[in-house]
Copies of this chain bind each other. A is one copy, B any other.
Amino acid sequence: MEIKPDCLPCVLSQAIKASKIATGDVNIQQLILDETINLIEKYKAYKNPADMGRDMHLIVKKHSKLFDPYIKIKQDNITEALEVYGYLKSFLLQKQNDIVWALKIAATGNYLDSTIYSNLDVKTCIEQELHRDFSICDVEIFSDKLSQAKKILFIGDNAGETVFDRILIESIKDKDITYAVRHEPIINDITMEEAYLTGIDACAKIITTGCNAPGVLFNECSEEFLETYLEADIVLSKGQGNYESLSEDSRDIFFLLKAKCPVIAKAFGKDLNDYIFKYKSKV
């Protein structure tokens, strides 16, 4: 997905938020702001918003001298997600392990980072979000492909969300499932270290993309990831960053996300905050 004008003030706002998360030192916050403005000036050089977002967060990491400014947020995020794991498992059981509900749980996890930033109660929010219908739901295509698939690749997004993805993956039986995470800490995205905290290793093989972007930049990915990606019968991509970087790839992909920004919502022809499960066919 190309960078839209509206992505630029958004990246700048994110840099201001990220600088405050990383440091209380206003001089460092200022350095981050100034360097992000320089980065925005070069927006035409970026392939997609995830690519640009990566460089912005590298500015935050460089000036704050923190390898992982979001480590505490990610750990809290996972802890809170694990606290609702039992509730979600029993919720899905009540729904007879229906695949739409399993997908919905995984999609709802994409909302989890918002609850952290706004101090909302996770369980209350999730209960409300679970009952919002998908705005696009290509579940028939998914079920059809799933019945014949051997190898499935999930591409993870935020840290706590992985607990929700675990519930979806646990509901899919007898498949060879790989779960790809970020190669290095970037924003609040899941990395190898945190993936083990979520317990997803019990139901999927964990690999990294080989790339430090909050998305998938193919020319920076590891051979292991590229091989898994190309050989998978199903690729399921979680969240906005993965969509931004994969939307124009030639292979078929299922995108599962909450449209948390107007640009993404518009890309799907839907409204802000809608839940999307969209199949993109081979091109």
Closest to A43 in B: B37
Chain B residues, Cβ within 8 Å of A33: 5, 8
A6-49 residues with Cβ-Cβ distance < 8 A to B are 6, 8-10, 12-13, 16, 29-30, 33, 37-38, 40-41, 43
CB < 8 Å neighbour of A8 from B6, B12, B29, B38 = B12
Residues B8 and A10 in contact, CB atoms below 8 Å apart: no
Q: Is the CB of A16 within 8 A of B12?
A: no
A5–B9 touching, CB < 8 Å: no
Nearest B-chain residue to A10, judged by Cβ: B9
| Chain A residues near B (Cβ < 8 Å) | 5-6, 8-10, 12-13, 16, 29-30, 33, 37-38, 40-41, 43
Query: What residues of B have a CB within 8 angstroms of the CB of A30 in the complex?
Result: 5
- The chain B residue with its CB closest to the CB of A33 is B5
Q: How far is the CA of A9 from the CA of B56 in the complex (A)?
A: 14
Bound: A30/B4 CA distance, A: 10
**A-B contact list, 6 entries, CB within 8 Å:** A6-B16, A8-B37, A9-B9, A9-B10, A37-B41, A41-B41
Query: Closest Cβ of chain B: how far from A210's Cβ, in Å?
Result: 32
Measured between beta carbons, the chain B residues less than 8 angstroms from A8 are 12, 33, 37
Q: What's the least CB distance linking A34 to chain B, in Å?
A: 8
Q: Which residues of B contact A5 (CB under 8 A)?
A: 16, 29-30, 33
State the 6 A-B residue pairs at the shortest beta-carbon distance, nearest first: A9-B9, A9-B12, A9-B13, A5-B16, A37-B41, A5-B33
A40 cross-chain contacts in B, Cβ below 8 A: 37, 40
Tell me which residues across on chain B come within 8 A of A29, comparing CB atoms. 5
Residues of chain B with a CB closer than 8 A to A38's CB: 41
Q: Chain B's nearest CB lies how many Å from the CB of A9?
A: 4
Chain B nearest Cβ from A167, distance in angstroms: 36
For A5, A29, A40, A43, which residue has the most chain B Cβ atoms within 10 angstroms?
Answer: A5
- Distance between A49 CB and nearest chain B CB, rounded to angstroms: 14
Residues of B within 8 A of A37 (CB): 8, 37, 40-41, 43
In the bound complex, how far is the Cα of B33 from the Cα of A5, in angstroms?
Answer: 7
CB distance from A209 to the nearest CB of B (A): 29
Q: Closest CB of chain B to A74's CB: distance in Å?
A: 24
